[in-house]
Amino acid sequence: MLTDYLALLLLIVGGFFFFAGTVGLLRFPDVYTRLHALTKADNLGLGFIMAGLAIQSGSWLVAGKLLVIWLLVMLAGASVAHLIARRALQRDITPWQR
């Protein structure tokens, strides 16, 4: 029962970060800030959801697989964010100033 509540909490937090990522994608003023929002959804949103599901699954093998998927998504997400941002700078897309 306690693990159920813990998993529930983790899943809700993960969902919140996904929502934050989407809001960031839609509302932030330029490419660079949107990339920032995207990687938060990747890292924290997916991480909390994976954590909640790992607890619910009750199997070390499943938890391990979820961990591997999360690590790969983070690796790919961070690298792609860097690549896109660097190329955007090279193409003279100026970061938003207040």
Point out which residues bind other proteins (CB under 8 A).
4, 7-8, 11, 14-15, 18-19, 21-22, 25-26, 31, 34-35, 38, 41-42, 45-46, 49-50, 53, 56-57, 62, 65-66, 68-69, 72-73, 75-77, 79-84, 86-88, 90-93
Report the candidate in 10, 2, 8, 1 with the shortest Cα–Cα distance to residue 51: 10
Q: What is the C-alpha separation between 27 and 52, in angstroms, rounded?
A: 28
CB of 35 to other proteins, least distance (A): 6
Q: Which value, to the nearest 10 degrees, does the dihedral of the CA atoms of residues 68, 73, 79, 82 take?
A: -150
Q: What is the C-alpha separation between 71 and 9, in angstroms, rounded?
A: 21
CB of 79 to other proteins, least distance (A): 4
Residue with smaller CB distance to other proteins, 61 or 98: 61
CB of 98 to other proteins, least distance (A): 19
User: What does each C-alpha distance from 81 to 26, 86, 98 come to in angstroms?
Assistant: 17, 8, 22
Residue with smaller CB distance to other proteins, 94 or 98: 94
